[in-house]
Amino acid sequence: MNFSSEYSVPITLDPHDPKRVYSALANGPPGGWRRRASGAEATMIRSDDGGANWQGIAGGMASEDFPEVIIVDQEIPGRLYAGCRNGKIYASDDGGDNFGAMDLGLGVSDLRCVVLAHA
């Protein structure tokens, strides 16, 4: 995979598979995203071999939505969440191959942290 993007988030480990890790890349720093119509030009990435090889994932997530926070569910294998800087939150039940937007009505415009708690 070509890592020509200039901005990334820390790697997130999958507690169900020690070789699976996630991250996200964007074209340039956050300040530049707001000045262009295409936004972050982001992609989420996943490695299934501990980081030796990476692939783009996140079908269903818009490239202007940068995943600032990636959370892998500790209890449900394959489920993860992506909290985007613009306040949108996406969920996946297939390890990140496909995402759906969650409408939580948060009204947040600069999301930096998400905490998952099971009831």
Encoded tokens for 16? 């169900």
Per-residue pLDDT of the chain (119 residues), as tens digits, is: 666 667 888 999 999 999 999 999 988 877 777 788 887 888 899 999 999 999 999 788 888 888 889 999 999 999 999 988 788 889 999 999 999 998 877 766 666 677 777 77
Q: What pLDDT score was predicted for residue 41?
A: 83
How far apart CA 55 and CA 104 sit, in angstroms, is: 29
Q: For residue 96, how far is the Cα from the chain centroid?
A: 9
Is residue 26 a contact partner of residue 33, using CB atoms and an 8 Å limit? yes
Q: Residue 22's pLDDT is what?
A: 96
pLDDT of 19: 97
